[in-house]
Amino acid sequence: MTGIKPKHWDHEADVLVIGSGAAGSSAALSAFDKGARVIMLEKRNRYGGTTEKSGGVFWIPNNSFLRAGGVKDARVDAIRYMARLAYPTLYNPEDSNFGLDKNQYELIATYYDQAAVAIENLQKMGALDPTPWIAWDGQFMPDYFAHFEENKVPRGRALVPKDPRTGKGVVGGVELIRQLRTAVEARGIPVFLRHRAHRLITNESGQVVGVEALNEKSEAVYFRAGRAVIFGSGGFTHNPEMRLNYLRGPVYGGCAVPTNQGDLISMASEVGAKLDNLAHAWWAQVVLEEVLANPSPPTGVFFVPGDSMIEVNKYGQRVMDEKAVYNERTQVHFVWDPLKGEYPNLFLFMIYDERAARIGGIGPLGTRYPIPSTGEQNPYVIKGGNLEELTTALEARLNKLVSRTGNFHLDQSFLSNLKKTISRFNEYASKGVDEEFHRGEVPIDLAYNGPRAEGNDRPNITMYPISAEGPYYAIILAGGTLDTKGGPKINPRAQILNRDDEPIPGLYGAGNCIASPAGQAYWAGGGTIGPALTFGYIAAINAVLEPEKTE
C-alpha cells in the first residue's frame, strides 16, 4: 500500500497513460484501439514531451519498406547486432542468447518481433504515416554501426514521418507528434495537461488501481485505472541529484524537456519496483554555456559541422573522431586520469577557422549548429585573431565559469600542443587519412558530415586543412544527454517488475522512464523513439487484458 485511500475518484478509465510523447501516445492509441477507455496525463502545459524536440526518427527492424524492397532482415542477425551493442561486456556470439540473461535477450527479441507490428498498427489507425529516412546522398540513412560485421542490414531500418504537404520524409519530432496528437484528439481521448503524476495508488492486494496527480495549483486529483497504469513519462535528465548519483559520467544538462525529473523512479520504488540501467543515457554533447544558462537547450550537438575543425581537450590534444555519432563521442568526456585525479576531457574545445565559420556544413537535421549562421553573433563563440589570442580568450572565459566547472582550466601545454595538433591534423587532411582516429572512414561519419563542402578538393570530405592564419574560433562542449534510459525494470510484456522480478499488477512502462531494452546501446538514429513506440504498443495490448481491479 502507498498509504493513499482517496475518498472519491475524480476521473476513471480502464487504462491511465502518463506522458504524451512517443511511448505515451502509442500506448494510449493502441489501448483505445483495443476498446479500452483511456485517459492521458501530461505534466507539461503542452502535448508531446521530449519527442516533440527530437529528430522524430524511429528505428524499426524488419519494417514494411525493407520487406517490400526484398531486403531480408533476419531475426537472428538483427538480435545479434542489437545484443552486441546493448551488452558488449556480456556478448558471446557462440551462445544462443548471445551471452545475455533471459530477460535481456527476450526484451531485444520482442522488440524485433513487435516493432514493425506496432508501426503498422499505428498506420492502420491513421495515426502515423512513415517513410524511410533518406540521407543527403540519396541512400537510406545507415545505422550507427553499419560497419560492424554483425550488422547484416546496415541501411533502411530508420523511418521518419511523412509530411502530408510534400509527401516527403521529415526529420523532426514536431511532425511525428502532430500526427500522433491528431489521432488522439480524433478519438476524443481526454488529455489532462499540467497534471503531474505524484503517487501510485494500490489496493490491499498490492495491485495498482490509480494515480494521485497534482494539478497546476498543486491540488490532488485522483484518477482511477480499472485495469492498468502505463508510464511513458521520460527520464531524469533534469533531476541534478539523480544525474550526479546515477549516471556514470559528469553531465551538465540535456535536451529532454524540463519536466523530465525521474518521477517514476520515486513512485515505482514506493511499490517495490526494481531499478535497472541507471548508469546509462542517450548521450549527446552540449554547448557548456548554453546548458549553464538553460539546462534544457533547444538541441544538443548531434553532429559537429565543418571540415577545417577539430575538438581538443585541456591539453590541446585531439581525443576522438569528431564526426563520430553523438552518443559515442560524448562518452569521451567521462575518461578519468587516475594519476592526475581529473577528467582531462571534462570539457572539449571545438576549434575552427574562418572558412568553417563561413561555410560550416549542413547536417542531417538541416542545421549547422553549433556554428552560428554566417554573420550571426553568439556569446558562446570565443574568437581570437591567432592561436595565442584564442588561447588567452579561452582561459579568460574559463576563469568566469570556475564556480560551476570544478575550477577547470587549460593546461600550460595547451597552446604548444594545439599548434602540433593542428599541424598533424592538416597532414591527415591533405592525404585523406586520419591516422589517429579514422575520421570519415565509416558510413555514419559521411552521412552526418553531409556533402562535400565548397572548395574541399581533398580525398576525405570530412577533413580540410585548418588555415595557417586567423581568425580562429572556439566553442566549449560538455557531456549531456538527449535523456536518460534507466528506471524500473520491465519484462517483454512491458510490465514493471518488483525486486523479485515478478510483475507489479496493473503497472506498465515504456520509453525513457524505464530501464531501456537497448541497454547501453544506441543502435541507430531512431534508437530511442523506435523502442518507445513499440513498448508503448506492447504495454497497451497487455494492459487491456488485465482483470478489472477492486479498489
- Mean pLDDT for 302-329 is 97
Q: Hey, what's the cell of 105?
A: 535477450
1 pLDDT band, cuts 50/70/90, is very low
> What is the crossing angle of helices 75-86 and 102-124, to 10°?
120
Question: What pLDDT does 19 receive?
Answer: 98
Angle in degrees, CA 273, 279, 282, rounded to 5: 105
Taking only the tens place, the pLDDT of each residue in 231-287 is 999 999 999 999 999 999 999 999 999 999 999 999 999 999 999 999 999 999 999
254 with 308, same domain: the answer is no
Q: Is the pLDDT score of 364 beyond 70?
A: no
Task: Give the residue numbers spanning the domain of 317.
Answer: 284-481
339 with 427, same domain: the answer is yes
148 with 249, same domain: the answer is yes
255 with 338, same domain: the answer is no
- Mean pLDDT for 275-300 is 96
> Mean pLDDT over all residues of the chain?
96
211 with 330, same domain: the answer is no
Residue 382 forms part of a structural domain: yes
269 with 401, same domain: the answer is no
Taking only the tens place, the pLDDT of each residue in 333-343 is 999 999 999 99
Question: What pLDDT does 7 receive?
Answer: 86
95 with 75, same domain: the answer is yes
End-to-end CA, the chain: 12
% of residues, the chain, pLDDT over 90: 95
Q: What is the DSSP letter of 54?
A: S
- Mean pLDDT for 118-124 is 98
Q: Hey, what's the cell of 218?
A: 498543486
Taking only the tens place, the pLDDT of each residue in 367-404 is 789 999 876 789 999 999 999 999 999 999 999 999 99
Assign residue 304 the CATH number of its domain: 3.90.700.10
Q: Is the pLDDT score of 366 beyond 90?
A: no
Question: What pLDDT does 70 receive?
Answer: 98
Question: What pLDDT does 420 receive?
Answer: 98
Cα 241 vs. chain centroid, distance in angstroms? Answer: 20
Q: What share of the chain is helix, strand, coil (3-state, %, to 5)?
A: 30, 20, 50
- For residue 242, the tally of other CB atoms under 10 A from its CB is 20
Q: Is the pLDDT score of 361 beyond 70?
A: no
**Exposure on the CB side of residue 13, measured as CA atoms within 13 A:** 29
Question: What pLDDT does 410 receive?
Answer: 98
Q: In whole angstroms, what is the distance from residue 421 CA to residue 309 CA?
A: 11
Q: Is the pLDDT score of 363 beyond 70?
A: no
Residue spans of beta strands (DSSP E) within 82-156: 130-132
Residue 67 forms part of a structural domain: yes
Higher pLDDT, 238 or 3: 238
Q: What is the DSSP letter of 308?
A: S
Alpha-carbon distances, residue 144 vs 521, 525, 547 (angstroms)? 10, 7, 42
266 with 290, same domain: the answer is no
Question: What pLDDT does 2 receive?
Answer: 56
Assign residue 161 the CATH number of its domain: 3.50.50.60
Q: Is the pLDDT score of 488 beyond 70?
A: yes
Q: Hey, what's the cell of 500?
A: 523479485
Residue 98 forms part of a structural domain: yes
